A and B are shown apart, each in its own frame.
Chain A
Amino acid sequence: MELQDRLRSDPMTLADIPPGMLVRILQMDKLPVEKRDHLLAFGLAPGRWVEIKQHRPAIVVQVDYTELALEPEVARNILVDTPVPLRRMRHLRRGAAAPGRRHGRHAFFHRKRRGRRTRFLSRFMKGYDRKNKKDE
């Protein structure tokens, strides 16, 4: 279905989605420009998956690892796609590809065997070392 048709037939907004669901943002044209720019800057943009965390006292959503608190007035102007329960589709969160099994086990292995600092270095200095070698 084309985006336009879907918007016409199923105009669901961020304020309609119950907590614990994942949903993809479709359109935020109805928001005033400053509010929209502000949200875009936080990473809440059409095409992104967001997780709805709660509705009261304010709507709280998570996009990437940023938690944002919004008022219903703002959320009502953000159109969204059909929601998906979080548990089933966790890998869709933040738009990432499904995690490779090896990767997950790998991380677990490191966590068990090494101290915090070594873990930090091993996971993030890898690229750095490679670059340094290149420089030499």
Chain B
Amino acid sequence: MQSNAKEKMVHHRDGKCIALVGQPNVGKSVIFQALTGRYVTVANYPGTTVELTRGAARDIPGATVIDTPGVITLPPHTEDEFVTANVLLNEPLSVIVQVGDAKNLRRTLMLTIQLAEMGVPMALALNMMDEAVERGVSIDHGMIEEQMDVPVIPTVAIHGEGIEELIEETRKASPHPFHLQYPIKIERSLEQIEILLPPCPISKRAIALLWMSDDPVVQAWLEEHAEPEILQKLHRKNELLKESFEEAPSTVIYRTRFDYVDRLTKLVQRETGSDWQSLAATLGKLSIHPLWGMIILAFILYGMYWFVGVFSAGTLVGLLEEKLFGQIINPWVTNTLARFIPVPFISDLLVGEYGLWSMGMTYALALILPIVTTFFIAFSILEDSGYLPRLAVLTNRLFRIIGLNGKAVLPMVLGLGCVTMATLTTRVLETKRDRLLVILLLALAVPCSAQLGVVMGMLASVSLTATLIWAMVVLGVLLLVGWIAAKVVPGERTSLLLELPPIRWPMLSSVLTKTLVRLEWYTKEVVPLFLLGAAIMFTMDKVGLLTFLTDLGEPLVKGWLGLPPEASAAFLLGFMRRDFGATSLFLMSSNGLLNPSQVVVSMVTITLFVPCIAALLMIAKSRGWRTMLAMVAVIFPLAFIVGGLLNLTLQAMGWGS
């Protein structure tokens, strides 16, 4: 324990450590960006930041800034709140910068009290001042400063207003003696608990208050740092305290804080009571209306179908794949190779049927890149507008059927961007059961952007009916499996409780930056995988393994799914990444090898197929190998069963063949 304390001392001397803490969706990441110049994903819904991001502060030499996931209050409720609680207790912080929402002063100040009680130097950035002004709220922040002894800086982070002052205050932040008097019984037990506590990184009073509220993070910390007999005494103190009160001590503590905040707010906040209305607010209201909400949703879905499916996968890919790559680049590469390196093996490796260039790079650059680019643009717009939490309200009933609540739509829609990232985002869900169910559904029935783009492009080229059949079958499987899984997995459903952020107009610069950052990530992650995939296919082709596997898969692919035997190769590629397999089917279909019914069957099967390697690794990392293998064991046969049944149904109906 002593070495631990020493380590912390060293840290302090080395440089400041500044933590950005605040409630969800108040703009911590935007301020992080302003302080460090480093880009982190920003969006208009709670839970965008799920991991800690660190960066060097530009204007404070030697200081590190930590961006933390949003925390509504302590003790923490969700996994991402645990991450933040851990930072507060275990990192040697020299300054805490609280980022708060100016228009929700009460909520902000409730957290300010908790942070100020920790005794670490702090500053409060009252962010989104422009939104408060719009709604006719004015705040005398000097008065808050006087009353609480904490520097308060009004900011509009997205326009950079107030950032300089914030940096200035952060630089000179000093410990402040904030003290809130609790009822006498609480104060007395606080004293008794404080005496028992070992040396703490934050004030003993704060630790004692959290201990009385049964904070799991403080409990874990004490189990590690306190002697067993002291821990026992602490437990006994807590039990005694609970017996002596009619209500839980945490309720009494909350009420004391609330009364203080209420008085302070009445003192510093003026509201004109203006009937604030705007187009954005009206749209926000309509988007959760039982009827209008559905119409708006249908409109958005059709817009995305047109933008990603018809425009990008049809027009753009046609131009790039057929014209640019098919007629100009690829023939040129083939000719140059033939002229300079006339070795058949090498030219086969690069531009043959499974060549690194002709398959790997062409797939990645000509087919998938334009599709994911448009998808990322559309998705960024949705994210920044704040529509996604409203989608949770609309879909709550649907998720009720599968034993979840509408909140699950957030990771699911993110999964349409990238299943790997979405698996990480399940942290915003409240219970382990919910997280497990959502991860299963993500792995099974949610296609990621790359794959979705290919699927949409391919189906859009057949007909809208084909797209609808695909969507209904996948959605049906999702609901059915979710319904069964919810019955099988023990635990109770948590009911919906969700904050709806205001609808905001997306900013072009933010949408573009976000798209570029995601594209960069995509290129880094996917292109090597595609090259690897092409190399593996090439090797298997050369040693004859491919023919063997294709023959082996033929009864399944040809007999059961009713697809041409060449499609086996696509499913093999699908093990690498689902979109890789889908792309290969896309090419088969544009070469006229598949009829409409076969297109739909193959797309449904590949959509339900196991997700990419990266997503599987993420599942294994967050839920363990056994869970991951169990999921694969369910998903793999299920994909083929559904595909085969669909094939039989379509044939019986005589559709599209």
Question: What residues of chain A lie closer than 8 Å to B496, measured between beta carbons?
Answer: 58, 69-71, 74
Binary CB contact string for chain A from 51 to 94 against chain B (1 if under 8 A, 0 otherwise)? 00110111010001111111101100000000000000011011
| B142 close to A68 (CB less than 8 A) | no
Interface string of B387-417 (1 = CB under 8 A from A): 0010011101100000001100000000000
| Contact, CB under 8 Å: A103 / B272 | yes
Q: How far is the CB of B281 from chain A (nearest CB, A)?
A: 10
Interface string of B490-510 (1 = CB under 8 A from A): 000001111110100000000
| A97-B266 contact in complex given A58-B393, A65-B104, A69-B392, C-beta closer than 8 Å | yes
The interface stretch among B195-203, B283-291, B375-383 is B283-291
Enumerate chain A interface residues (CB-CB to B < 8 A). 33-35, 37-43, 45, 47, 53-54, 56-58, 60, 64-71, 73-74, 90-91, 93-99, 103-104, 107, 116-117, 119-120, 123-128, 130-131
> Chain B: how many interface residues by the 8 Å CB criterion?
65
A120 touches B130 (CB 8 A): yes
- Residues in B with CB closer than 8 Å to A67 are 499-500, 502
Q: Assess whether B22 is interfacial by the CB under 8 Å rule.
A: no
A27 and B154 CA atoms in complex are apart in Å by: 34
Contact of B275 (CB < 8 Å), options: A47, A64, A90, A98: A90
* Other-chain residue from A40, A41, A64 in contact with B105 (beta carbon distance below 8 A): A64
7 A–B contact pairs at CB < 8 A?
A43-B107, A64-B107, A70-B495, A71-B396, A71-B405, A95-B262, A125-B154
With a CB–CB cut-off of 8 A, which chain A residues contact B75? 37
Which A residues touch B129, using CB under 8 A? 120, 124
Are B273 and A96 touching (Cβ within 8 A)? Answer: yes
Q: Does the CB pair B397–A57 fall under 8 Å?
A: yes
Contact, CB under 8 Å: B77 / A37: yes
Asked if A124 and B258 sit within 8 Å, CB to CB, the answer is no
Q: Scan residues 111-147 of chain B and give those whose CB is less than 8 A from a CB of chain A.
A: 129-133, 135-143, 145
- Residue interface bits B256-287, CB-to-A below 8 A is 1, else 0: 00100010001001111111000000000100
Across-interface contacts of B334 in A (CB, < 8 A)? none
Central interface residue in B142, B161, B392, by most chain A CB within 10 Å: B142
B204 part of interface (Cβ distance < 8 Å): no
Check B272–A69 contact: CB distance below 8 A.
Answer: no
List 17 additional A-B contacts (Cβ < 8 Å) besides A37-B73, A74-B496. Answer: A35-B495, A35-B497, A37-B250, A41-B107, A43-B107, A57-B293, A66-B107, A69-B498, A69-B499, A94-B271, A104-B272, A107-B138, A123-B138, A124-B129, A124-B138, A124-B139, A128-B165
**CB–CB A57/B393 < 8 A:** yes
B430 contact set on A, CB distance < 8 A: 34
B109 to chain A, nearest CB (A): 10
The answer to whether B226 has its CB under 8 Å from any CB of chain A is no
Chain B residues engaging chain A, CB cutoff 8 angstroms: 72-73, 75, 77, 101, 103-107, 110, 129-133, 135-143, 145, 153-154, 156, 161, 165, 248, 250, 254, 258, 262, 266, 269-275, 285, 288-290, 293, 389, 392-394, 396-397, 405-406, 430, 495-500, 502
**CB proximity of B484 to chain A, nearest CB, Å:** 23
- Evaluate whether A39 and B156 lie within 8 angstroms (CB atoms) in the complex, with A104-B274, A123-B133 already known: no
Query: Which A residue's beta carbon lies closest to that of B130?
Result: A120
Whether A57 contacts B396 by the Cβ 8 Å rule is: yes
Partner of A41, one of B73, B138, B274: B73
Measured in the bound complex, the distance between the Cα atoms of B140 and A130 in whole Å is: 11
Considering only CB atoms, which chain B residue lies closest to A35 in the complex? B497
* A37 partner residues in chain B, CB cutoff 8 A: 73, 75, 77, 250, 254
Q: Is the CB of A74 within 8 A of B392?
A: no
With a 10 A CB-CB cut-off, give which of B129, B145, B497 has the most chain A CB atoms.
B497
A56/B290 contact (C-beta < 8 A), A124-B139, A124-B154, A128-B142 known:
yes
Among B143, B250, B271, B497, contact of A74 (Cβ-Cβ < 8 Å): B497
By beta carbon, the residue of chain A nearest B259 is A47
Q: Which residues of B contact A33 (CB under 8 A)?
A: 248
